[in-house]
Amino acid sequence: MNIAAPASPDLFARAGAPYHGGTFKTQLLKWVGSKQRQAPAIIKYFPAVFNTYLEPFLGSGGILGALSPRQAIAGDTFAPLVQIWQALATQPDTLKAWYAERHALIAAHGKEQAYADVLEQYNQSPNGADLVFLCRACYGGVVRFRKADGYMSTPCGPHDPIAPESFSKRVDAWVERTRGTQFIRADFRETMDRARRGDLVYCDPPYADSQAILYGAQDFSLATLFETVQKCKERGVFVALSIDGSKYSGAKLCNLPIPDGLFEHEYFIEIGRSMLKRFQMDGRTLEAHGVADRLLLTY
Ligand SMILES: C[S@@+](CC[C@H](N)C(=O)[O-])C[C@H]1O[C@@H](n2cnc3c(N)ncnc32)[C@H](O)[C@@H]1O
C-alpha cells in the first residue's frame, strides 16, 4: 500500500476528513497525557485517505478534536470519562449544566470547599458530572487515582476554573468537531476489532510504569496491544501508535515486545515540556526526561 507520509493538510480535505490541527486549541477536559498540543505534528503522519477514524484510548481526545473526522469511533475504559463524552454527543446542555452547577458552589462556599465537596461526592460514586468539574479545577489538571481502589486524590488547584460561559462555548465547539463520532466505553481490543480495511486507528496507550496511578489499575497489556495492532494490519487497517520516548528510553525501549516487521515507519514527535515534570506525587516524582514521543506506523 502506497501512502505518502507525511501527508499534507489539503490531502485530508480531499479525503473527507478536514484537517484543522493547526488551529484548534480549545481544550474541553484537562487530562494527563493530552495530545492536543502535539496534534498537528502527529496528524501530519496519518494516511492521506482513510475511512472511519478509531481512537481506542480517547482520554481528553486531543487528536480527535484536532482531526475532526467525518466518521469516528472513540473509546476508553474509564466509565466517568466516557459519560462526559456521551453527554457531549447526546445531551450537551446537560454537560454544560453539570459544570455550571458545580462551579456555582465556588461562589457559595469558596473554591477549596466546593472542590472538597465535589471530590467527596465523586469518590462515593465516581461519575462524569463530578469529573468534568474536578478535572478542570484540580491541581495542574492531573487527575490521578489511588491504585488500590480508584479513589481520586488530586488536591484543588491554585487557579480559578474557567467560567461556565466559557465552558459552554467549548462544549459547542467540541459538539461541532465530534458530530460524526460515536463514543463507547470499551477496552481497546473491542474498539480496534471494529476497524475495517481502509480505516485508521490511532493509539495513545497508558504507560504501564507511571500512568497506572494516573488512570487507575485498568487492565492494560502492551503485548496484547501489539497483537491487536498486528490483526488490524492483517485486515488492511492503518495503525498509528504513540509511544512516549521519555518513559520508554534506553534499555527499556529495547525490551518493548514489538513484533518484527509490525511497524513500517517510526517518527519522533516533539512534545515540549511535559505536565508530569512539575508534580510530586505521593513522595514520588513522575518526571518525564525526554523531549520526544515516538510515533510508530504500520503503513
Ligand atoms: C495516555 S491517555 C490518552 C490521552 C489522549 N491521547 C488525550 O489526548 O487526552 C490513555 C487513556 O487510555 C485509557 N485506558 C487505559 N487502559 C485502557 C484500556 N485497556 N482500553 C481502553 N482505554 C484504556 C485511560 O483511561 C486513558 O484515558
| All cell numbers assigned to 100 | 455550571
Q: Residue 251: which pLDDT band, with cuts at 50, 70 and 90?
A: low
- The answer to whether residue 130 is domain-embedded is yes
Domain extent, residue 218, equals 9-78+179-297
Length of the chain: 299
Ligand 1 pocket mutation pick from 28, 29, 38, 76 by most atoms within 8 angstroms of CB: 76
* Same domain (yes/no): 14, 73: yes
Q: Is the pLDDT of residue 253 over 70?
A: no
DSSP string, 17-41: ----TTT----SS--TT--TTTHHH
Ligand 1 contact, 153 CB (< 6 A): no
* Same domain (yes/no): 235, 279: yes
* Same domain (yes/no): 91, 74: no
* Same domain (yes/no): 290, 223: yes
- Rounded Cα–Cα distance for residues 56 and 190 (Å): 8
Mean pLDDT of 162-191: 98
Three-state SS for 250? helix
- The answer to whether residue 4 is domain-embedded is no
Tell me the pLDDT tens digit for each residue of 146-161.
767 778 989 999 999 9
Ligand 1 contact, 62 CB (< 6 A): yes
- The answer to whether residue 15 is domain-embedded is yes
Q: Residue 278: which pLDDT band, with cuts at 50, 70 and 90?
A: very low
**HSE (side-chain half, CA atoms, 13 Å) at 80:** 24
Output the domain CATH number for residue 267. 3.40.50.150
* Same domain (yes/no): 56, 150: no
- The answer to whether residue 1 is domain-embedded is no
The domain total for the chain is 2
State the amino acid at position 137 in one-letter form.
A
- The answer to whether residue 108 is domain-embedded is yes
Mean pLDDT of 200-206: 95
